[in-house]
Every structure is written in structure tokens, then in C-alpha cells.
């Protein structure tokens, strides 16, 4: 007899020698899985009609017995999927998980309702619940692997908001959900994707001035942040300037216009700095014509910047070098 067989026999002997009372029998039902039932109460919660089963689920939920509510509501969905009671039962599953603090699970259960029953009467309310759940994760709540192990994921949070927008692109919560995708991307330091998310919000909700103005302004800010992280690529500074210019043209009475003008001035100065550094790089390696191009860009971008005077001096010096006989 091998060691494994001996161990199994010892365990069995121990169980038989020290019997204990199980708190409840473990019951398996096809399509429903395993569940514990109170002794003497097996299957008492089950009913033979969808309406009656839904009544059990709702009563359990009202009495805050969320585990029973989940079992009863799931049975409605699985046994009578085409009945009128399946959509509210699926919704109740989401509510029960939300009440238990299983927020990601609740979001996903609500998603099933919206995908399978787009004409459900409380569609907008379910969208609002999804939005409120997503906001918890945006605020810092962690997800839970297998419902137990906590971990953060901004990517998943962005995906939650994307689903909300897809579920109801012109719903009450969709504009802010789209904006929050940009917020998540900014937290990830992915300013290009943040700008894209804000741009989508500004374009899609152009008929909602408050939303569109906020989205366009944030798009400009995202490009500005990206520009400040780029040492030699000043293209994003140009995108920021163009976006802020559009913002001022479309919303001239916005209270942020004076501040936007100052931002544009600083961005032009940043462009001048970037072009000045590129010109110095070319000059270092004796690429005179390339250096001239970028020194001239310094003057074009911001002729009054602190780099302008030195750029003019370098242009004069380089022209003499280029024109000098060899």
C-alpha cells in the first residue's frame, strides 16, 4: 500500500472516529449548481411557476436575505428565460450583488439585463446604477479577483464607462461617462488617449453646450500635459493651441477664456523652447541648414520669447557660415 492510500485511510478513519454535524446539506441541481439548504428546508424556496418564484426572490430581497434572493432570482432566469419575469429577476440579481458589496459583479449582472432586454422599463435607472458603480472604482475602490483578492485596474474602469456609453450613448449619464474615460486615461498618464476621449465627448454632445465646452477645454489641457512631457516633439503643443483656439472661438463668453489665452501664450513659449533645443542639436553636429530652420521657427512661434534674441544671433552667425566661401 503506497503512502497516498495510507493518508486517505487515516483521514477517513478520523472522520468516522469524530463525527460532526454539518450545518446544512450540500445540494446539487442541474442548471443551478451546488447550494446549501437548511436542514428540513430543502427546496422550500422553490416554486413551480415563474411568478411565484419571483415573489420568493423579491420577498427575500425585501427582508435583506440576499443569498436566498440570488438563488430564487437565478432560478427564474434559468428555468423561465423567456417569461415576463426573467428581466426583473435578472435586475434583482444585480441589486442583490450590489447590496452585498459585490460591485463589479453587480455591474456585470446589470449589463446582462441591458444587453438582453433593451426595452426594459427601468433601463435608465439601471444605467444610472452602472454609472454610480463605475464612479466607485474611479474614486479608488479596488476590484476583487474571484471576489476575494483586491487589485486596482484603471483599464477595467475605463471599460466600465465605455460600456455605459455604448448602452445608452445619449442617455442622461452618457456624457459624463465619456468624460470620465478621459479622467481615467489622465490618471494613467496616457494624455493622448485622454484627449481622444474628450474630443469624442465634444463632438458627440456638441448640442449640449456645457458638456461640449468642458470636453473641448479638457482636451486642450490633455494635449498641454502631453506637450510638457515631450522634449523634442512639439507637435502636441500645436494641437493644444489649436484646441484652445477652437474653444475660445466657440465659447467666447466662457469664464475660462482669459486663462486660456495665458495657456496659449505659455504653449507658444514652450514651442519656442522646443525648437530652440532642436536647433542647438543640429548646430552641435554642424547641420547648419537644419539649425537655421528651427531657429527661424523660434521666431515664428514666439518672437517675444526669451529664446528669440539668442535665436536671431545664431541665425546671423549661421548665415555667415553657410555663405562663407569654402
φ/ψ of 286, rounded to 5, equals 60, 30
- CB count, 10 Å around CB of 150? 9
Convert the pLDDT of each residue in 140-152 to its tens digit: 999 999 889 999 9
**In the predicted model, is pLDDT for residue 136 greater than 50?**
yes
- Average pLDDT over every residue of 79-106: 97
Give the CA diameter of the chain: 108
- Average pLDDT over every residue of 313-320: 86
Convert the pLDDT of each residue in 86-99 to its tens digit: 999 999 999 999 99
In angstroms, what CA-CA distances link 146 with 89, 143, 150, 151, 186?
23, 10, 9, 11, 28
Burial class (CB in 10 A: 0-12, 13-18, 19+), 179: buried
Q: Give, for 35, the enclosing helix (H) or strand (E).
A: strand 33-36
Q: Which of 9-18, 130-139, 215-224 has the lowest mean pLDDT?
A: 9-18
In angstroms, what CA-CA distances link 207 with 157, 171, 241, 245?
27, 14, 23, 19
**How high is the pLDDT of residue 3?**
55
**Nearest C-alpha neighbor of 260 from the set 216, 217, 305:** 217
**Nearest C-alpha neighbor of 163 from the set 113, 199, 209:** 113
> Could you tell me the three cell numbers for 287?
547641420
**How high is the pLDDT of residue 38?**
53
Q: Structural domain boundaries of the chain?
A: 27-100
| Cβ–Cβ < 8 Å for 175, 211 | yes
Convert the pLDDT of each residue in 253-291 to its tens digit: 999 999 999 999 988 887 888 889 899 999 888 888 888
Burial class (CB in 10 A: 0-12, 13-18, 19+), 128: middle
Convert the pLDDT of each residue in 157-211 to its tens digit: 999 999 999 999 999 999 999 999 999 999 999 999 999 999 999 999 999 999 9
| The dihedral sign for the CA sequence 170, 171, 174, 175 | positive
End-to-end CA distance of the chain: 98
| Cβ–Cβ < 8 Å for 72, 53 | yes
CATH fold of 27-100, please?
1.25.40
- Average pLDDT over every residue of 109-127: 95
Distance separating alpha carbons of residues 85 and 11, to the nearest angstrom = 47
Distance separating alpha carbons of residues 231 and 318, to the nearest angstrom = 24
Considering the entire predicted model, what is its pTM? Answer: 0.79
**How high is the pLDDT of residue 80?**
96
**How high is the pLDDT of residue 26?**
53
**In the predicted model, is pLDDT for residue 24 greater than 50?**
no
Mean of the per-residue pLDDT values for the chain? Answer: 87
Beta-sheet pairing, 143-145 with 149-151: antiparallel
Helices (H), the chain: 3-17, 50-62, 66-79, 86-99, 103-116, 123-138, 154-167, 174-187, 191-204, 209-229, 235-250, 257-284, 288-301, 308-323
Amino acid at each position: 500500500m503506497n503512502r497516498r492510500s495510507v493518508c486517505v485511510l487515516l483521514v477517513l478513519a478520523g472522520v468516522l472516529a469524530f463525527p460532526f454535524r454539518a450545518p446544512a446539506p450540500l445540494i446539487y441541481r442541474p442548471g443551478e449548481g451546488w447550494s446549501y439548504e437548511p436542514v428540513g428546508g430543502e427546496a422550500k424556496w422553490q416554486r413551480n411557476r415563474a411568478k411565484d418564484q419571483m415573489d420568493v426572490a423579491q420577498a427575500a430581497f425585501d427582508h435583506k436575505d440576499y443569498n436566498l434572493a440570488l438563488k430564487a432570482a437565478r432560478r427564474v432566469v434559468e428555468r423561465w428565460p423567456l417569461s415576463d419575469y426573467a428581466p426583473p429577476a435578472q435586475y434583482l440579481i444585480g441589486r442583490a450583488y450590489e447590496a452585498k458589496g459585490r460591485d463589479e459583479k453587480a455591474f456585470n449582472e446589470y449589463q446582462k439585463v441591458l444587453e438582453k432586454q433593451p426595452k426594459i422599463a427601468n433601463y435608465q435607472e439601471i444605467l444610472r446604477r452602472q454609472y454610480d458603480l463605475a464612479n466607485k472604482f474611479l474614486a479608488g475602490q479596488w476590484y476583487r479577483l474571484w471576489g476575494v483578492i483586491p487589485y486596482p485596474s484603471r483599464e477595467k474602469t475605463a471599460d466600465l464607462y465605455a460600456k455605459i456609453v455604448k448602452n445608452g450613448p445619449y442617455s442622461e449619464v452618457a456624457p459624463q461617462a465619456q468624460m470620465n474615460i478621459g479622467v481615467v486615461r489622465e490618471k494613467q498618464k496616457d494624455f493622448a488617449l485622454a484627449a481622444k476621449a474628450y474630443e469624442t465627448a465634444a463632438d458627440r454632445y456638441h448640442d449640449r453646450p456645457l458638456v461640449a465646452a468642458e470636453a473641448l477645454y479638457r482636451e486642450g489641457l490633455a494635449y498641454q500635459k502631453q506637450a510638457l512631457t515631450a522634449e523634442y516633439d512639439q507637435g502636441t503643443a500645436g494641437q493644444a493651441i489649436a484646441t484652445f483656439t477652437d474653444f475660445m472661438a466657440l465659447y467666447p463668453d466662457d469664464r475660462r477664456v482669459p486663462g486660456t489665452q495665458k495657456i496659449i501664450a505659455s504653449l507658444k513659449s514652450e514651442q519656442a523652447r522646443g525648437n530652440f533645443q532642436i536647433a542647438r542639436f543640429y548646430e552641435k553636429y554642424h547641420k547648419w541648414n537644419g539649425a537655421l530652420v528651427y531657429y527661424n521657427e523660434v521666431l515664428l512661434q514666439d518672437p517675444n520669447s526669451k529664446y528669440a534674441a539668442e535665436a536671431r544671433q545664431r541665425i546671423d552667425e549661421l548665415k555667415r557660415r553657410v555663405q562663407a566661401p569654402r
